[in-house]
Structure 1
Amino acid sequence: MRVKATDERTYLETVFDKLGFSEQDGHLLADTLVDADLRGISSHGIQRLAWYRRMIKDGTIVPTKQPKVLRELPGSVLVDANQNMGQIAAHLAMNKVIEKAKKVGVGIGVVRNSNHFGIAGYYARQALHAGLVGIALTNTRPLVVPTNATQAFLGSNAFAFGFPASPHPFMFDGATAAVAGGKIQVADKKGQELPGEWVVDKNRDVVKDPKEAEDILATAAFSEGPQKGGGLVTLGGNKEVNANYKGMGNSIVVELLTGILAQGSISADTVKGKHDFSQFLFAFDPAFFGDPETLKKDATAMLNRIRGLKHVPGKQTWVPGDREYRYLKESQQNGVAVDDKTYEEITAIGKELSVEVPQSI
């Protein structure tokens, strides 16, 4: 079904208010989820709400706590999310990073003691809106099996990069695994067979059944006890011959810049004791290197050359950001898509908290 984005936003803001978040924080949290749904990234949209609700109930997330700036220099800042939502701390940190980049040309921020922070691209676009180039990284629960391994250790570890261009910015936002774990949740809810080499079992055999895949990821990501084995594969797929070690390398880079740099948990240890993700945020002012409009024009020209390459019949050559901004335009006109299972979840939360649920359009 489809619902109006404005109705989804109102519902979410009301739910977050009922859950104890401040008005400002609730507005931000709702915005990150609606933003994901508008851009067709349903894995990080309203379907995450039931998970957030569970983490609030078990005390993993404490809505009344506020992130704190622990340390800062002219070009860097360290933020403690203080057990609140990752979106709140990451937004604060990126605002600080933007201020620093505007003053000294570059800014780096690290967030510790954090949680899920939505889509990484949200924060890269924060920098873009300020006329900067932006990068955002996060580690996650242990979902990914390294090359030739049979147990999950690495996170899906999202990486987002935004650079000014026309008619929209270049916007890469993706996991360093073959897919984000949320895509498995969405496939399970829809009962859709997994289309590619996304998940493997304990023998590194590719799993197509979404329920089996979700069970594998659940035991990897939420259990401190013995794992069944298996998990998401890295970029490059299941076999080393396809250079999946490069995807593993990308994921390890994110681990180093998040969990290690924040002195928090690496993905493999987020299920042991305290639950803490870490984020890395970076922005720089391209004006130092040349006229911003010239850089934007040159980037646009390169991207258009890629779009114009000869291509397979019936297909289209596109660059990161194209699909996202196409979905954004369509969703603003036609509403955002919500699968039946997620609608059942938000209906139950609405009933529990006495909040009116968005209606299908």
Structure 2
Amino acid sequence: MNDVLIPFDELVSKLRQVLLKFGFEENRANQCATLFAKADRDGVRSHGVNRFPLFLDFIEKGYIKPKNVPTLLSEIVLFERWDGNLGPGNLNAEFAMDRAISLSREFGIGCVALAQTNHWMRGGNFGWQAVEAGCIGICFTNTKPNMPTWGGSEPILGNNPLVIGIPRKESPVVLDIAMSQFAYGQMSLYAQKGQDLPFEGGFDLNGKLTKDPKVILENHLALPMGLWKGAGLSLVLDMLATILSGGNSTHEVDHNGDEFGLSQVFLCFDPFKLVLMDWMEEKTDRILDNLKNSAVFEGEAVRFPGEKVLETRTQNLNNGIPVAESTWSKILKHLEE
């Protein structure tokens, strides 16, 4: 799989042009295109432009409504519930995190639950959104069933991603993980390259662990991270997203194999409003210094979540954003039609 290097502004421009042809208004097309491009800019290729063709397919199928925006269902002090109305998942998520940030500015803490939304693509975008606003951000989403519970032989749980962002002057800490050992987007990239996973990432139909991403993708039998612990965490994240939003749970968002109508939660803590700034930076630095100075095995290095993002971002902005040649060709083809 060969890559082409595309300047960031050109990448956003081409994606925006395609989205305009698919019914987006100008501002929302630019906003959505930028979120896709930011994922690849920061090196998260599994959840960026690689998924753009599928995103367009879901628009054509009517699962994603380009012009739909969230509507408020209820509000009480620092908690709001919104209906995403099946609008674009990344735009809905950016809106929900912005609302959580605004609530935290007023109350110290803000919580927004979102029902009937779509895949948010790179969840880390919204952790970075929070830290760039100077806030601690937490968000999570459910997915369609794509992972067995521990001891199970069928996909019954979602790999329900979790994002936690902690602001820091030098380099924020942003954790972006799915509850499966490997995210499905990451496994798809390995499959496209014809490569095995570096570690066992799921089960075959005989219940044996396998490194073959194609087998795992075909059967939706991803390995829960932490084995039974990841399975348990997946379950409670789905329960929280469903209960707080009033939306669909994992077993209700699987529509004949397609995924839409998800439930999500966005939490924000404003360190200034909560009077945490006297010690926040110092304690954060001490924790990370302790981590970075820990002993390692020969040839290994220790890093914290999000540590390499700013470096990767700078490199890709200078050299161009790597995009799979086959994906780029599909995108350009839409502009020829």
The yes-or-no answer on 1:203 pairing with 2:170 is no
The yes-or-no answer on 1:250 pairing with 2:233 is yes
Task: Tell me the SS of whatever aligns to 2:279.
Answer: helix
Task: Tell me the SS of whatever aligns to 2:111.
Answer: strand
The yes-or-no answer on 1:330 pairing with 2:330 is no
Aligned-residue offset at 1:203: 2.2
Aligned-residue offset at 1:287: 2.8
Aligned-residue offset at 1:293: 5.8
Residue among 208, 214, 222 paired with 1:232: 222
Tell me the amino acid that sits aligned with residue 271 of structure 1.
Answer: D
Distance, in Å, in 2 between the alignment partners of 1:288 and 1:63 is 36
Tell me the amino acid that sits aligned with residue 169 of structure 1.
Answer: P
The yes-or-no answer on 1:159 pairing with 2:162 is yes
The yes-or-no answer on 1:83 pairing with 2:86 is yes
Distance, in Å, in 1 between the alignment partners of 2:130 and 2:316 is 24
Deviation digits for residues 286-327 of structure 1 (CA, Å, limit 9, x no counterpart)? 235545263113202211221111211211111111133332
Residue among 270, 281, 301 paired with 1:316: 301
- Other-structure match for 2:271: 286
- Other-structure match for 1:99: 102
* Identity level (%): 27
Distance, in Å, in 2 between the alignment partners of 1:283 and 1:79 is 16
Task: Tell me the SS of whatever aligns to 1:286.
Answer: coil
Q: How many residues align?
A: 332
Task: Tell me the SS of whatever aligns to 2:151.
Answer: coil
Bigger drift between 207-216 and 168-177 goes to 207-216
Distance, in Å, in 2 between the alignment partners of 1:58 and 1:332 is 34
Deviation digits for residues 84-106 of structure 1 (CA, Å, limit 9, x no counterpart)? 11112222222211111111111
The yes-or-no answer on 1:299 pairing with 2:281 is no
Distance, in Å, in 2 between the alignment partners of 1:139 and 1:97 is 19
Task: Give the TM-score normalised by structure 2.
Answer: 0.93
Distance, in Å, in 2 between the alignment partners of 1:272 and 1:10 is 32
Tell me the amino acid that sits aligned with residue 351 of structure 1.
Answer: K
**Mapping 1:25-40, distance limit 5 Å:** 25-40=28-43
Bigger drift between 145-154 and 346-355 goes to 346-355
Aligned-residue offset at 1:344: 2.1
Native 8 Å contact 2:248 2:261 kept in 1: yes
- Other-structure match for 1:177: 180
Tell me the amino acid that sits aligned with residue 319 of structure 1.
Answer: F
- Other-structure match for 1:68: 71
Deviation digits for residues 152-206 of structure 1 (CA, Å, limit 9, x no counterpart)? 1111111111112242111111111112111111111121112212121222212
The yes-or-no answer on 1:344 pairing with 2:334 is no
Task: Give the TM-score normalised by structure 1.
Answer: 0.87
The yes-or-no answer on 1:265 pairing with 2:248 is yes
Distance, in Å, in 1 between the alignment partners of 2:260 and 2:30 is 24
Native 8 Å contact 1:200 1:233 kept in 2: yes
| Aligned CA distance change for structure 1 residues 23 and 297 (closer, same or farther; 3 Å) | farther
- Other-structure match for 1:353: 335
Q: CA RMSD in A?
A: 1.8
Distance, in Å, in 2 between the alignment partners of 1:181 and 1:293 is 41
Distance, in Å, in 1 between the alignment partners of 2:169 and 2:145 is 37
Native 8 Å contact 1:165 1:297 kept in 2: no
Bigger drift between 165-174 and 287-296 goes to 287-296
Aligned-residue offset at 1:47: 0.5
Gaps of 5+ in 2: none
Distance, in Å, in 2 between the alignment partners of 1:75 and 1:292 is 21
Bigger drift between 159-168 and 259-268 goes to 259-268
Task: Tell me the SS of whatever aligns to 1:108.
Answer: strand
Residue among 120, 128, 133 paired with 1:130: 133
